[in-house]
């Protein structure tokens, strides 16, 4: 379906709903209806008056889309609605007389009360009782009867004008011209909407800086602007459609009251919007002022804390300063929004209150795990155990810290994998910071081997240390050393400890060291194997004293 057709159909549906709200009662034509047996009497006498119960609603008498009188009292077991119905039947019965002659009034006594009867050529139409008067208006029965007669005369003149071919032709001509003008304006509005939407999209694309981290927000802002312009154009077209409907209704006597009511509602609607806009200006100005002050404070705090985290003369670490800056700026904005919220239009409405309650409930139900991660992140940041760019080991995972977020820490492992560890897991596992060790002894590089008891341990020590000295990246100071961790049933466990200067090179240095260890043991003819017991050897596996030192006892 083309966009123009969708707009027109939407306007028609909206206007039909509004028309249904404007029309208070269905129009009564000139068709004659046969009244009931009681109403067909020559001149029915007024029934005794009775006080209307408070629960009985009033009922207006509407003919030709015009309100004549409002019945408020009950007479002879007839409710106001029944009285209105009977009066309408009589008016339709004597519609020809009402077109030719004017309505007259006469006084009549109804159970001791003075009522006013309305007649046309001596035929009874309805009565105005004292209990039908509006107590708030303060009008007398005579004043109310004059208003009723004036309204009946207007209806008579409208019926006469409606029967005039010249008046009908004039109304049709004006309605056709208004229709042509309306569709021309809608067509122009559609063209202007497309051009303005394209202009907004082009201007947004020319913006240079409109990014959130790595995401380009320009396409999204442009799409949002286009949709806003289309919605604004739709409501403007709807308002023009209502004006057109009101104008067309005003061209015909039968629908003129509907047009007047429609016009009144349009004016009231526009007036209400203007008054709301004018009334909201002080509150909006106050809210904008608060937000401007909040923005200034946020920038000031941002600059101060950013300078505190400077590498040269900062008094806190960069990650701590970054987190503190974000928390402080967020707190300032939250306070500013809370202070400006009461000044926003509609902030006290039930809709805003319902949204606030819904958001609070959602945060309460779903924030338990998030709060745990956030608090763990605060512990990591302010304890200073881990910083961005440091090479650390958490549990069985080691790598370089690339980012410390509110909820998780991101790692780049030596194998090139990006890993994310939640803050709570970081707190719950032991951590080793190899970068901090570089400032003292260096990064420890350890390699564990198990050698059988048939190999002299002094020779094993010498081979391991020589392999460490030949490995590139192992520092000479502190010198490499060997520790015998355990003496198991079938082998001894040796741990070689060396030190490197670059923590990120720990894995490749360890790989090269293991290769050097294998070469050294192969050249010495010692197997790097862990023997297991199956049976006793033919001779005890002991090392003679002359073999305790490589090269003989003189090397002791």
pLDDT digits 0-9 by tens, 405-464: 888 899 998 888 899 999 889 888 888 888 888 877 888 999 999 998 888 999 999 999
Q: What is the pLDDT of residue 52?
A: 42
At 56-70, the pLDDT tens digits run 788 888 887 788 888
Q: What is the pLDDT of residue 366?
A: 67
Q: Which CATH architecture has domain 387-436?
A: Roll (2.30)
State yes or no: pLDDT of 37 exceeds 90.
Answer: no
Q: What is the pLDDT of residue 112?
A: 66
Nearest to 131 by CA among 89, 86, 69, 88: 69
Do residues 251 and 234 touch, judged by C-beta distance below 8 A?
Answer: no
Compare 32 and 254 and report the one with higher pLDDT: 254
Nearest to 431 by CA among 376, 478, 479: 376
Tell how strand 443-452 and strand 481-487 pair up: unpaired
Q: What is the pLDDT of residue 219?
A: 77
Give the rounded percent of residues in the chain with a pLDDT score beyond 90: 18
Nearest to 27 by CA among 251, 257, 261: 257
At 494-518, the pLDDT tens digits run 999 999 988 888 889 999 999 999 9
Nearest to 76 by CA among 6, 35, 127: 127
Q: What is the pLDDT of residue 511?
A: 93
Do residues 409 and 386 touch, judged by C-beta distance below 8 A?
Answer: yes
At 124-157, the pLDDT tens digits run 888 888 888 888 877 788 888 888 888 888 888 7
pTM of the entire structure?
Answer: 0.51
State yes or no: pLDDT of 16 exceeds 60.
Answer: no
The burial of 292, by beta-carbon neighbours within 10 Å (0-12 exposed, 13-18 middle, 19 or more buried), is given as exposed
Whole-angstrom Cα distance, residue 362 to residue 65?
52
Q: Which CATH architecture has domain 441-531+541-553?
A: 2-Layer Sandwich (3.30)
Q: What is the pLDDT of residue 373?
A: 83
Model confidence at 39, in pLDDT bands (50, 70, 90)?
A: very low
Give the rounded percent of residues in the chain with a pLDDT score beyond 70: 84
State yes or no: pLDDT of 314 exceeds 80.
Answer: no
State yes or no: pLDDT of 533 exceeds 70.
Answer: no
* Domain definitions of the chain by residue range: 49-162, 165-254, 288-369, 387-436, 441-531+541-553
Instruction: Compute the mean pLDDT over every residue in the chain, rounded to the nearest whole number.
Output: 80
Q: What is the pLDDT of residue 8?
A: 43
Instruction: Work out the average pLDDT over 482-502.
Output: 91
Model confidence at 11, in pLDDT bands (50, 70, 90)?
A: very low
State yes or no: pLDDT of 319 exceeds 60.
Answer: yes
Alpha-helical regions (H) of 439-550: 457-470, 506-524
Model confidence at 169, in pLDDT bands (50, 70, 90)?
A: confident
């Amino acid at each position: 379906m083309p966009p123009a057709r969708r707009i027109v159909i939407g306007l028609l549906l909206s206007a039909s709903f509004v028309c249904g709200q404007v029309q208070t009662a269905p129009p009564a034509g000139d068709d004659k209806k046969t009244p009931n047996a009681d109403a067909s009497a020559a001149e029915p006498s007024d029934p005794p008056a009775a006080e209307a119960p408070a629960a009985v609603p009033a009922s207006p008498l509407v003919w030709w889309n015009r309100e004549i009188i409002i019945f408020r009292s009950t007479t002879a077991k007839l409710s106001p609605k029944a009285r209105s119905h009977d009066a309408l039947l009589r008016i339709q019965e004597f519609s020809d007389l009402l077109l030719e002659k004017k309505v007259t009034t006469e006084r009549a006594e109804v159970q001791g009360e003075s009522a006013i009867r309305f007649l046309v050529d001596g035929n009874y139409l309805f009565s105005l009782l004292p209990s039908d008067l509006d107590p708030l208006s303060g009008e007398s029965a005579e004043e109310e009867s004059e208003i009723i007669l004036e309204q009946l005369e207007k209806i008579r003149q409208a019926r006469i004008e409606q029967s005039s071919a010249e008046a009908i032709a004039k109304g049709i001509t004006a309605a056709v011209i208004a229709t042509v003008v309306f569709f021309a304006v809608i067509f122009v509005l559609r063209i202007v909407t497309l051009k303005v939407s394209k202009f907004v999209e082009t201007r947004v694309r020319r913006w240079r800086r409109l990014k959130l981290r790595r995401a380009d927000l320009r396409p999204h802002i442009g799409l949002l602007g286009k949709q806003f312009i289309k919605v604004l154009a739709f409501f403007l077209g709807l308002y023009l459609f209502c004006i057109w409907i009101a104008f067309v209704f005003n061209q015909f006597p039968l629908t003129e009251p509907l047009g007047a009511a429609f016009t009144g509602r349009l004016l009231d609607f526009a007036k209400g919007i203007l008054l709301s806009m004018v009334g909201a200006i002080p509150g909006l100005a106050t809210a904008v002022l608060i937000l401007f002050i909040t923005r200034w404070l946020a920038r000031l705090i941002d600059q101060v804390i950013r300078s505190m985290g400077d590498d040269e003369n900062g008094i806190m670490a960069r990650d701590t300063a970054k987190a503190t800056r974000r928390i402080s700026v967020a707190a300032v904005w939250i306070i500013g929004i809370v202070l400006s919220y009461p000044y926003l239009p509609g902030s006290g409405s039930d809709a805003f209150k319902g949204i606030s309650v819904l958001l609070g409930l959602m945060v309460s139900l779903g924030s338990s795990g998030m709060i745990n991660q956030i608090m763990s992140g605060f512990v990591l940041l302010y304890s200073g155990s881990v910083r961005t760019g440091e090479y650390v080991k958490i549990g069985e995972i080691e790598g370089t810290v690339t980012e410390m977020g509110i909820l998780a820490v991101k790692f780049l492992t030596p194998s090139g994998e990006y890993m994310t560890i939640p803050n709570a897991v970081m707190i719950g596992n032991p951590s080793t910071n190899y970068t901090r060790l570089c400032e003292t002894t260096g990064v420890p590089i350890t390699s564990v081997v198990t050698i059988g008891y048939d190999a002299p341990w002094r020779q094993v020590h010498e081979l391991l240390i020589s392999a460490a000295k030949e490995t590139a990246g192992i520092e000479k100071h502190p010198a490499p050393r060997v520790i015998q961790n355990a003496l198991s049933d079938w082998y001894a466990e040796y741990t070689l400890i060396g030190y490197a200067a670059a923590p990120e090179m720990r894995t490749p240095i360890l790989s090269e060291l293991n290769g050097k260890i294998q070469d050294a043991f192969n050249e010495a003819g010692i197997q790097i194997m862990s023997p297991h017991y199956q049976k006793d050897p033919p001779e005890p596996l002991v090392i003679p004293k002359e073999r305790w030192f490589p090269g003989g006892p003189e090397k002791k």
